[in-house]
Amino acid sequence: MNDTLRELDHRTNDRIDVWLLWREHDNRVLVSVADDKTGDRFTIEVRDGERPLDVFHHPYAYAAWHGVEVSAEPQRSLPVSDAV
């Protein structure tokens, strides 16, 4: 099976890279995100009926909608201080 990805668009802002990709073998569109500040990395497959450019411009919202985990590390709770 050929998993060739073709880059359709790319943007960078505040050390966050977002790619709009097309997977040739099944004609699917993906959005991939890499945040160099936090180490977060995730990919979203654009679903039928979704607009690829909307997912590209709002990947964190779509990741939440799709149930995709975006954190590189589990959230840590802050220590509770006894001092008032």
Task: Provide the pLDDT for residue 32.
Answer: 97
Sign of the CA dihedral running 48, 53, 58, 59:
positive
Distance CA 13, CA 15 (A): 5
Distance CA 14, CA 21 (A): 21
Task: Provide the pLDDT for residue 2.
Answer: 60
Distance CA 38, CA 21 (A): 22
Encode pLDDT of 28-78 as tens digits: 999 999 999 999 999 999 999 999 999 999 999 999 999 998 876 544 444
**pLDDT: which is higher, 69 or 82:** 69
Residue 45: name the closest of 12, 68, 72 by CA: 68
Domain ranges of the chain: 5-66
**pLDDT: which is higher, 53 or 83:** 53
